[in-house]
Amino acid sequence: MRIAVISTYTHPTRLRIKEPSVMQSSVPELIAGLCPPDAQLELYNEKEMDIPLDRDWDLVFFSYLHAYYEHTKVLSTLLRQRGIKTIAGGRHAIQFAGDAENYFDAVITGAPEPNVPAAVADFQRGALKKRYDLQGGGAADIRPFRWDLIDYKHNPIRLPGIEASRGCPFTCSFCVLTGWEKYRYRPVAQVVDEIETRMTWNKNWLGVFDNTFIFLDNNLGGSPKYLRELCEALIPKKRIWGCALTFNILRDEELVRLMAKAGCRYIYTGLESLNPESITSFKKGQNKIGEVDEVIRRAFNNGILLSFGLLVGSDGDTEQYLRKLPEVLAELRYFSITFFGIVCPYPETPLYAQLKQESRLLPGTCSRDYDGYTLCHQPKQLGKQETVEHFLRLCNELGQVQNIFKHYASTLGSSNLPQYRKVILASGPEILSVRNPIQNKERRYIAGLDDLEPWDREQISRLRLPLQMLS
C-alpha cells in the first residue's frame, strides 16, 4: 500500500512561491506514525516543494489550513480522477466537514490517533467511510512521529518538531483554539524519551542545527507546573530548543531561567499589540503591556531570543498608534518581530461571531482570504484601505535590513550562555521575512478584491469547483 501525506500550502502573495522555513507543519510525520509499519510512505510539505501529482499512490492524506482549502480541493480532485482515494483532516476540515465531503473520499473530524488507523484499515478492506469521528483518549495517545521520513535536503533550515501538549487554557477572541481545544499534555518521560531515542536531526550546515528542535505546541506554558517538570527532565540532555508560549510565563523570572538552563534559546509570544485597548478587545488579559520592556530584557539576559507576533486591524487600532509603532519598538530596543499580520476572523472564533453580529464581515470573502494577511472585516476606528496601507508600510519598516544590525547591537551582548550568540546571529535574516507576504505589488490585501493564484483559478474553473464563500 502506497500512502502519501501532504501538508498543502499557498503563499500569502498568491504567487507560486516556496518558502522553506525553520517551522513546518508536522502533520505528515504525525500521520505517518499512525500508518501500518509495512506501508510505503511519502511525506510532502508544499511550503518546501511542489507536489508531484503524477505519482502512483493508493491513498493520500491531506492537511490544510483555511486559506489552502481551494487549492487542496484542486489537488484532491486531480488525484481522485486518477482513482486515488483522498482523506482530509485538520481544523478547517473539522469545521466544514460537510463541504469537504464533496471533494475528498473521507473526512476525519476526530483526533488522528484513533481515526487514521481506522480509516487505513477500512481502506484496505475496500470499505472507506465518508466520515471518521472516533473519540480518542488523552494526550498520552500521541504516537511518536516518523522523523526518520523527513528529508532535510528539501529544506536545509528545517528543524524537527514535537508536541508535548495540545490546546491552550486561554480564550483569546481571535484564536482558532478558543472554545474547541481543552489543554492537555503528555507524560514528560514519553516526550523526553522520543527526543532522545527517535528524533532525527538536521545535519545540514556542518551540523550547526544538530541537537536542535522545536516544540510545536500552541502554548508550551499552558501549565507552568508541567513546563517546570519538562525543563528539569531536559537539563541533563543538553539539547537546544525553541517554543511558543504566553506572556504570563515570561513574567516568571525563575521559570525563564530554568527554561534557559534546559536548553531553550528561542521563544515566540503572540504579543499582538502594544495598544492596551486592542489587548482588551482580543480578550488577551495575560499580556501586560506595561511590563513588555522588562520581559524583553529578562528573556535576552537569560540567553533566550524572544520573538513577538504583532497584528493590525484590531478594534483598538488608531492612526496614531500604527503611525508610532516602529518608534515605540525602537524605544524598547526591540527589532526582532518575525510575524506581522492582519487580524483574521477565522469562522470558528468568538471574533467571527461578534463581527458577523455587528455586520462587519466584508462581502465576497472566500476561504482563500483567511490567510492572516488579508483584511476580512471592517475595523472600528480605521478605513479598510487605510488599515491595509498601514500594514504594508509597517511590513516594510519592520522588515528592513537595518533592523538586523540594530537587533544584533541590542541583544548579542546580553548573555554568554552556550549557543545564545549563534541563535541571535541566525535569527537576523528572519527579520526580513516580515516583508515576504507583500512581495506582490498587484495584491490589494482586502477580502473579495484579490483573485486566487493563476494555477488554482484555471483548475477551479476547468474542474467546475465552487469557491467556499464565508460571508
Using CB under 6 A, list all residues that contact ligand SF4.
Answer: 168, 170-172, 175, 177-178, 218-219, 246, 270
Give the count of residues interacting with ligand B12 (CB under 6 A).
Answer: 38
The cell for 60 is 493520500
In the complex, what is the shortest distance from the CB of residue 263 to ligand SF4, in angstroms, rounded to a whole number?
Answer: 23
In the complex, what is the shortest distance from the CB of residue 397 to ligand B12, in angstroms, rounded to a whole number?
Answer: 19
Binding window for ligand B12 (CB under 6 A); candidates: 171-179, 191-199, 233-241, 277-285: 171-179
87 binds ligand B12 (CB under 6 A): yes
Compare residues 234 and 310 and give the one whose CB is closer to ligand B12: 310
How many CB atoms are closer than 10 A to CB 118? 16
What would you report as the CA-atom Rg of the chain, rounded to the nearest whole angstrom? 22
Compare residues 112 and 263 and give the one whose CB is closer to ligand B12: 112
438 binds ligand B12 (CB under 6 A): no
Residues numbered 275 to 314 that lie near ligand B12 (CB under 6 A) are 309
Q: Give the three-state DSSP class for 461.
A: helix
**Nearest CA to 270 among 345, 174, 353?**
174
72 binds ligand B12 (CB under 6 A): no
Compare residues 321 and 346 and give the one whose CB is closer to ligand SF4: 346
Q: Any long-range contacts for 400-405 (C-beta under 8 Å, 24+ apart)?
A: 401/432, 403/335, 403/336, 403/431, 404/335, 404/428, 404/429, 404/431, 404/432
175 binds ligand B12 (CB under 6 A): yes
Distance CA 392, CA 326 (A): 13
How many CB atoms are closer than 10 A to CB 451? 12
CB 26 within 8 A of CB 216: yes
CB 59 within 8 A of CB 87: yes
Task: Please state, in angstroms and as integers, the Cα–Cα distance from residue 213 to each residue in 23, 154, 242, 360, 395, following that order.
Answer: 10, 17, 7, 41, 28
Binding window for ligand B12 (CB under 6 A); candidates: 20-28, 149-157, 225-233, 289-297: 20-28
Quick one: what does residue 426 bind among ligand SF4, ligand B12, none, with the CB cut-off 5 to 8 Å set by partner type?
none
In the complex, what is the shortest distance from the CB of residue 31 to ligand SF4, in angstroms, rounded to a whole number?
Answer: 22
Quick one: what does residue 395 bind among ligand SF4, ligand B12, none, with the CB cut-off 5 to 8 Å set by partner type?
none
Quick one: what does residue 108 bind among ligand B12, ligand SF4, none, with the CB cut-off 5 to 8 Å set by partner type?
ligand B12
Compare residues 115 and 307 and give the one whose CB is closer to ligand SF4: 307
Lay out the site mask for ligand B12 across 89-128 (x = CB under 6 A, - = otherwise). Answer: xxx----------------x--xx--xx------------
Distance CA 236, CA 267 (A): 20
Compare residues 298 and 395 and give the one whose CB is closer to ligand B12: 395
Distance CA 135, CA 132 (A): 9
Q: Where are the beta strands (DSSP E) in 292-426?
A: 305-312, 339-342
- SS3 of 311-327: the string is EECCCCCCHHHHHHHHH
Compare residues 31 and 41 and give the one whose CB is closer to ligand B12: 31
Compare residues 95 and 378 and give the one whose CB is closer to ligand B12: 95
The one among 4, 14, 26, 213 contacting ligand B12 by CB under 6 A: 26
Quick one: what does residue 355 bind among ligand SF4, ligand B12, none, with the CB cut-off 5 to 8 Å set by partner type?
none
Compare residues 272 and 317 and give the one whose CB is closer to ligand B12: 272
In the complex, what is the shortest distance from the CB of residue 372 to ligand SF4, in angstroms, rounded to a whole number?
Answer: 12
**Nearest CA to 32 among 133, 156, 117?**
117
Residue at grid coordinates 522553506: 20
Compare residues 172 and 267 and give the one whose CB is closer to ligand SF4: 172
67 binds ligand B12 (CB under 6 A): yes
228 binds ligand B12 (CB under 6 A): no
Task: Please state, in angstroms and as integers, the Cα–Cα distance from residue 50 to each residue in 45, 55, 241, 398, 419, following that order.
Answer: 8, 12, 29, 30, 34
Our measurement of the distance from residue 256's CA atom to the centroid of its chain's CA atoms, rounded to an integer in Å, reads 23
Q: Kind and range of the H or E element at 231?
A: helix 224-234
Quick one: what does residue 23 bind among ligand SF4, ligand B12, none, with the CB cut-off 5 to 8 Å set by partner type?
ligand B12
The one among 61, 340, 391, 420 contacting ligand B12 by CB under 6 A: 61
**Nearest CA to 35 among 109, 156, 128, 124?**
124
Q: Kind and range of the H or E element at 63?
A: strand 59-63
Compare residues 272 and 317 and give the one whose CB is closer to ligand SF4: 272
Q: Which residues here bind ligand B12, judged by CB under 6 A?
A: 7, 21, 23-27, 30-31, 47, 61, 63, 65-67, 87, 89-91, 108, 111-112, 115-116, 163, 166, 175-177, 216-218, 309, 339, 341, 346, 371-372
